[in-house]
A and B are shown apart, each in its own frame.
Chain A
Amino acid sequence: MPRVDGVAKVTGRALYLDDLEAPNAWHGATVRSTVAHGILEAFDLDPGFDWSRVVVVTAADIPGKNTIALIEDDQPALVAIGAPIMHVDEALALVAAPTRELAFAAARAVKPRVEPLPANFDPAASTHVFKEFRVRKGHATDAEFDAAIARAAHVIEGSYSTSPQEQMYIEPQAMMAEWHGTACHLVGSMQCPYYVHKAMKVLLGCGPDGVVVRQAVTGGGFGGKEEYPSMLAAHVAVLAKKAGRAVKMVYDRDEDIAATTKRHPARTRHRLAIDAHGEICAIDVDCVMDGGAYLTLSPVVLSRGVLHAAGPYRCPVVRVRGRVVMTNHPPHGAFRGFGAPQTTFPYERQIDKLARHLGEEPLALRHRLALRSGDTTATGQVLGASVGTDEVIAAVRDAAGPVPARDGPRCKRGRGYAFYFHGAGFTGSGEQRLAGRATVAALPNGRFEVRTSSTDIGQGALTIFTQIASQGLGVDAALVDIIEPSTDRVPDSGPTVASRTCMVVGGLIEKASRELRDLLPARDRELTVTKQYEPPPGVHFDDETYTGAAYPVFGWACCLVDVTVDLDTYEVRIDRCVQAVDVGKAINPVIVRGQIEGGTLQALGWALLENIVYRDGKVANANMTNCIVPTFADAPEIETMIVEVPYPFGPSGAKGVGEIPMDGPAAAVANAVEDALGVAFDALPISPEAVFAKVRP
């Protein structure tokens, strides 16, 4: 089935936030900090500026609590006078004016007076640990763990670093607010309307009816529109209240790159111990992530990183320690993969080094050591159904073809692999706590409605939900409407994150649709069925000990990359990229392909050319000229293989697909570059400068 929103998008008729008709709306702009740490003492308004047509908002105008409520309430919506500034480009004050130009001019005419303080940008020097997690398997004490390492026949040790990464959705952050009486109506580009709703109740000091949040058509998210939209919502809500009219805010690209969240940069030490038979006998991982200035979603990102850090390999003794610490960088946050890419890169480099040490073919080694049904993960989870290890490895082996000749004209070639997994749905007991709900309704006019808060951010939720509902109801897809996510019309289905939309919310829609079908055809009134998430039997996680079923199910993937390293320009070119991903069941194979290929290219970009450069805590490359992402010409043809090992508790057997393709390809690239040059690359990105530094003549 082609995308239900396809025609609107190819004709330009789809309305994103900045396209909405709002003739009387004023434009908002943000006054930002130029220092990374300091105390905000006062604002000076330029007396030469005409302030008569401008509204200025400071923290004192916030009606409720000055915080962006999420996990902890440490991040203010605006820094108050006398309060600390914690990072460059932090929001200090707001202005709104009839035109965008005037708003930006007004923002420049607000001069913050700041007493600077020393700033720290080095996670290793941070004294504030936001969160720490530990996974412990097969040992009770560190001494017991050390003894297990001491018994090993050989230990592979490595230190790895991964860089911050910009989501680079092509539609920048955008939001509009208008007050109708005592209720604030927000519409914008976002992944999670109920995150914004929850945050605004606190900020505006109102009940659930005091704020309505609606998603406009959204031009990409990739995690970047998970938590950050609450910041824009706070800003336009308070501006609109003071201005007495609608206010919209659309970031320009430079502001978006400078001020919004990025993927957490991480440093990881990894020890991989093997016994005399070449079996892994102990794994030790120590990972530090830079959380930036506020906590935001860092604990959850760290948790996923820690839970994936031992990799999809059998091992009786595992110790994983992870910390996310505060620095004076702008806060890092959600980005596709959500901590797992940062810990996948180390373990897949380590496995490759093990293959070199043992002289074993790298794919065969992975096949020999990999987890399968009945095996136990690092958290003690016994894997049940839907483990696609053998299938994804076989798919890549069959597609691999001959290894390219290493030596070419002024170039070297190499091949690398990665094998990896990704937990689908919320971590640990998250789905139970969320208790997401979805409603399917039969209307008297013969049509059907699906009501969820899941957003289509390009990943195809509208289309997948239409397919699941029409199949469950046994009706034509043309009779099914997916209701626009607006908090006054849809239940809270949980956020659109964590590869959970199809598997978890789609699963609720499937159940509700089937149940509704049995109630038909009583059609003189609206009939609805609402379903709430229940964990599959036997799925339990202990948040205290970090043991048990970390995820209800995992996706599995294997990647092959062939590279050519140019010995004149030191550029790494991807000649081939093969990705086999076990998605359970592809409800819409074209959409699944799009997810796999898009995620894979983001990973290849992260491996080779994407980076955020911080200088004194400020993003030094805050524009698309210098903060580059792959173009048509940079991207290889990606050979996608969809593998289906059904998950019994997902709709038609489906499990998550959105994030997994992001996790592994960077390691496959590094492994291929090492194969080509005989030199290890353990830091990302593997830029021409990085290659030159290691292999210059």
Chain B
Amino acid sequence: MKVELRVNGQLREVDCSPWKRLLDALREDLRLTGTKEGCGEGECGACTVMLDGEVVNSCLVAVGQCAGRDVTTVEGLAHGDLLHAVQRELVACGGAQCGICTPGIAVCAAHVVDRGLATSRDKVRELLAGNICRCTGYQLIVDAVINAAKAK
């Protein structure tokens, strides 16, 4: 079945089962491999994308549900070489180590910062609690999100 959706601002079409996970449609059909699979059950957040501006786990969304909707992945955060503020700060603060959770965290953090929700460290921790990072202990990521919010 053909499904039309807008990915990172561009109209795209995938031809697959409507039950295919959005995660797999992005990675396999559209070759956008920035979105990662960590658990496949909505626990780790590595596959976080924005769907019509809200953050979702793309492993829990069927691509058929995305017809006519807007998807933003990590590939859509930067404008050319100009990184989004959270990406820039994640690099500057050391908020990415192994990097496998980083795309999901960058997407969720961009959502949090762009909406002006990063009002305190506790708030950032609460809003990012669906994204698991095993490397950093989280602190340097919180630093990055707070810095990005200040820069906006």
Q: Which of B67-92 contact A (CB under 8 A)?
A: 73-75, 77-78, 83, 87, 90-92
A170 touches B140 (CB 8 A): no
The answer to whether B39 and A218 touch across the interface, beta carbons within 8 angstroms, is no
The smallest beta-carbon distance between A30 and chain B, in angstroms, is: 17
8 Å CB interface, A1-25 against B? 2-3, 5-16, 18-19
22 contacts between A and B (CB under 8 A): A3-B91, A7-B83, A7-B91, A8-B99, A10-B90, A12-B102, A15-B33, A170-B36, A170-B44, A170-B133, A217-B99, A593-B139, A594-B135, A594-B137, A597-B138, A597-B140, A623-B39, A625-B41, A632-B125, A632-B126, A632-B128, A633-B126
B56 within 8 A of A: no
- Indicate if the CB atoms of A12 and B138 lie closer than 8 Å: no
A3 vs B87: C-alpha distance when bound (angstroms): 13
In the assembled complex, A275 has its CB within 8 A of some CB on chain B: no
* Alpha-carbon gap, A601 to B133, bound state (A): 10
A459 at the interface (CB under 8 A from B): yes
Q: Is A347 an interface residue (CB 8 A)?
A: no
In the complex the two chains form, is A253's CB within 8 Å of B39's CB? yes
Which residues of A have CB within 8 Å of B87?
Answer: 7, 10-11
Given A10-B83, A593-B140, A597-B136, A632:B78 Cβ within 8 A: no
A629 touches B (CB below 8 Å): yes
Max count, chain B CB within 10 A of own CB: residue among A6, A10, A598, A629:
A10
CB distance from A369 to the nearest CB of B (A): 30
B43 to chain A, nearest CB (A): 4
The answer to whether A219 touches B36 (Cβ under 8 A) is: yes
Tell me the minimal C-beta distance from B108 to chain A in angstroms.
10
Are A12 and B75 closer than 8 Å at their CB atoms?
yes
The answer to whether the Cβ of B25 comes within 8 Å of any Cβ in the partner chain is no
Q: A9-B99, A170-B101, A633-B126 are in contact. Are A252 and B40 (CB under 8 A)?
A: yes
Known A253-B41, A633-B126; 7 more pairs at CB < 8 Å = A10-B74, A219-B101, A220-B134, A596-B137, A631-B132, A635-B137, A638-B139
Query: Which residues of the partner chain A approach B33 to less than 8 Å between Cβ atoms?
Result: 12, 15, 18-19
Q: Which residue from chain A places its CB closest to the CB of B103 in the assembled complex?
A: A12
Question: Which bracket fits the contact residues of A?
Answer: 35 or more
In the complex, what residues of A have CB within 8 A of residue B133's CB? 170
- The B contact surface, by secondary structure, is loop
Q: Which B residues lie within 8 Å of A566 (CB)? A: none
Residues of A within 8 A of B (CB): 2-3, 5-16, 18-19, 167-172, 217-222, 252-253, 457-460, 590-591, 593-594, 596-602, 623-625, 629, 631-633, 635, 637-638, 640
Indicate whether A14 sits within 8 Å of B136 (C-beta atoms), given known contacts A2-B94, A590-B93, A632-B129.
no
Question: Which A residues lie within 8 Å of B41 (CB)?
Answer: 253, 623-625
Given A7-B83, A10-B90, A458-B99, are A638 and B134 neighbors across the interface (CB < 8 Å)? no
Is the pair A624, B44 in contact by a Cβ cutoff of 8 Å?
Answer: yes
Interface residues in B127-152 (C-beta closer than 8 Å to A)? 128-142
Q: Decide: A629 and B134 in contact? CB cutoff 8 A.
A: yes
- Once the chains are docked, how many angstroms separate the CA of A289 from the CA of B127? 40
CA of A629 to CA of B44 in the docked complex: distance in angstroms?
A: 10
- Residues on the A chain within 8 Å of B128, using CB: 632
B121 interface residue (CB < 8 Å to A): yes
In the complex, the answer to whether A591 meets B94 with C-beta atoms within 8 Å is: yes
- A-binding residues in B (CB < 8 A): 27, 32-41, 43-44, 46, 73-75, 77-78, 83, 87, 90-94, 96-103, 106, 121, 124-126, 128-142
- Residue in contact with A632 in the complex, picked from B35, B37, B44, B131, CB distance below 8 Å: B131
The complex places the Cα of A629 from the Cα of B124 at a distance, in Å, of: 18
Distance, CA A672 to CA B130, complexed state (A): 28
B contact residues around A640 at 8 Å (CB) = 139
Total A-B pairs, Cβ < 8 A: 168
A459-B136 Cα distance, complex, nearest whole Å: 10
Within the complex, the shortest CB–CB distance from B143 to chain A, in Å, comes to 10
The answer to whether B142 touches A632, judged by C-beta atoms less than 8 angstroms apart, is: yes
Give every chain B residue within 8 A of A169 (Cβ-Cβ): 98, 100, 134
Asked if A632 meets B98 with Cβ closer than 8 Å, knowing A10-B106, A171-B38, the reply is no
| Separation of A601 and B83 alpha carbons in the complex (Å) | 29
Closest to B91 in A: A6
- What separation, in Å, do the CA atoms of A435 and B39 have in the docked complex? 39
- The residues of A that contact B130 with a CB separation of less than 8 Å are 631
- A632 to chain B minimum Cβ distance, whole angstroms, is 4
Give CA–CA (A457, B97) in the complex, Å. 8
Which residues does chain A contribute within 8 Å of B124, judged by CB atoms? Answer: 632
The distance from the CB of A445 to the nearest CB of chain B, in whole angstroms, is: 25
Contact B138 A632 (CB under 8 A): yes
Question: If A170-B46, A252-B40, A635-B138 touch, does A2 touch B131 (CB 8 Å cutoff)?
Answer: no
Point out the residues of chain A lying under 8 angstroms from B138, CB to CB: 597, 601, 632, 635
* Chain B nearest CB, measured from A637 CB (Å): 6
Whether B102 contacts A222 by the Cβ 8 Å rule is no
Say how far B9's CB is from chain A's closest CB, in angstroms.
16
Which among A18, A625, A631 has the greatest number of chain B C-beta atoms within 10 A? A631
Residues of B within 8 A of A460 (CB): 97
Q: How far is the CB of A314 from chain B (nearest CB, A)?
A: 32
Whether A458 pairs with B140 at a CB distance below 8 angstroms is no
Determine which of B32, B74, B134, B137 lies in contact with A170 in the assembled complex, contact meaning CB atoms within 8 Å. B134
The 3 closest A-B pairs by CB, nearest first: A12-B34, A458-B98, A219-B100
Contact B135 A458 (CB under 8 A): yes
A484 CB to closest chain B CB (Å) equals 15
Contacts of A624 in B (CB 8 A): 38-39, 41, 43-44, 132
Contacts of A632 in B (CB 8 A): 124-126, 128-129, 131, 138, 141-142
Complexed CA–CA distance, A460 and B90 (Å): 14
CB distance from B130 to the nearest CB of A (A): 8
CB distance from A587 to the nearest CB of B (A): 13
A253 CB contacts on chain B under 8 angstroms:
38-41, 44
B98: chain A residues within 8 A (beta carbon): 169-171, 218-221, 457-458
A189 to B38, CA, bound (A): 14
Which residues of B have CB within 8 Å of A6? Answer: 90-91, 96
In the docked arrangement, what's the CA distance between A623 and B41, Å? 8
Q: A12-B74, A169-B134, A624-B44 are in contact. Are A2 and B139 (CB under 8 A)?
A: no
A457 partner residues in chain B, CB cutoff 8 A: 98
Which of B74, B96, B101, B137 has the most chain A CB within a 10 Å cutoff? B137
Nearest CB to that of B90 among chain A residues? A10
Query: Which residue of chain A lies nearest to B126 when distances are taken between CB atoms in the complex?
Result: A633
> Hey, which chain B residues are within 8 Å of A219, CB to CB?
36, 98-101
A279 to B126, CA, bound (A): 47
A11 to B33, CA, bound (A): 11
The residues of B that contact A16 with a CB separation of less than 8 Å are 36, 100
Alpha-carbon separation in the docked complex, A640 to B44 (Å): 26
- Inside 8 A of B77's CB, which chain A residues have their CB? 11
List chain B residues, Cβ under 8 A from A629: 132, 134
Cα A9 to Cα B125 in complex, Å, equals: 21
Q: CA–CA, A600 to B135, complex, Å?
A: 10
A237 to chain B, nearest CB (A): 24
Chain B hits for A631, CB < 8 A:
129-132
- Report yes or no: B83 in contact with A633, Cβ–Cβ below 8 A: no
Q: How near does chain A come to B118, taking the closest CB pair, in angstroms?
A: 12
Instruction: Pick from A217, A222, A590: contact of B94, CB below 8 A.
Output: A590
- The answer for the CA separation of A217 and B33 in the assembled complex, in Å, is 13
B137 proximity list for chain A (CB < 8 A): 594, 596-601, 635, 638
Quote the shortest CB–CB distance from A289 to chain B (angstroms): 23
Q: Contact at B100–A170, with CB atoms within 8 Å?
A: yes
